[in-house]
Amino acid sequence: MNKHKKHMKILLTVLVVVTLSGCKSTMENQSISKANINATLNSWHKAAADANYNDYFSVMTDDAVFIGTDATENWDKKAFQAYSKPHFDKGKAWNFTALERHIYFDKTGKTAWFDELLNTQMKICRGSGVLVKIGTEWKIKQYVLSMTIPNENSNEVVKVKSTLEDALIQTLNSKQ
């Protein structure tokens, strides 16, 4: 019996060490991935600020989607490139700097989603999106840009956008 208990104790110790090693490895991998994602998003924003069209769009997957602040802005990558090209060609696209960012992972560690508060020419905006790991690189699959509106000013904003958006609501409802 003592010999059996001793073997069980050793086995349990080995299992605990292996489990903790796996957790540490996962935590380390997530820390490395978070750093890589931060670098990817920061360089993506910098490419826009520098009007570097190729660097900006190379960070996005071929099937990426960009959703802008206007209700009509839901672009696949090619449409977003067409919209963006004249801005980049002028040498000035947009300048977003992250003020705060949160990053999360799925169980595989190959899909991540994030939200960020940005300092922009529109004041504070919120960006959110999904990245996928392709090989060793993180690529943006979806990005959503939203303007933030202080709660105490939401009624004023609704008044400003009502005329345009009421017409859009009717158009979209008629398509259903």
What tens digit of pLDDT does each residue of 94-133 get?
Answer: 999 999 999 999 999 999 999 999 999 999 999 999 999 9
Tell me the mean pLDDT in the region 29-49. Answer: 95
Tell me the mean pLDDT in the region 64-82. Answer: 98
Percent of the chain having pLDDT more than 90? 81
pLDDT for 28 equals 73
Strand 60-67: give its sheet, edge to edge: 74-76, 60-67, 137-147, 123-134, 111-120, 97-105
Average pLDDT taken over every residue of the chain: 90
pLDDT for 25 equals 62
CATH number of 2-166: 3.10.450.50
- Is the confidence at residue 12, as pLDDT, over 90? no
User: What pTM did the predictor assign?
Assistant: 0.83
Give the tokens for residue 68: 């802008």
pLDDT for 172 equals 96
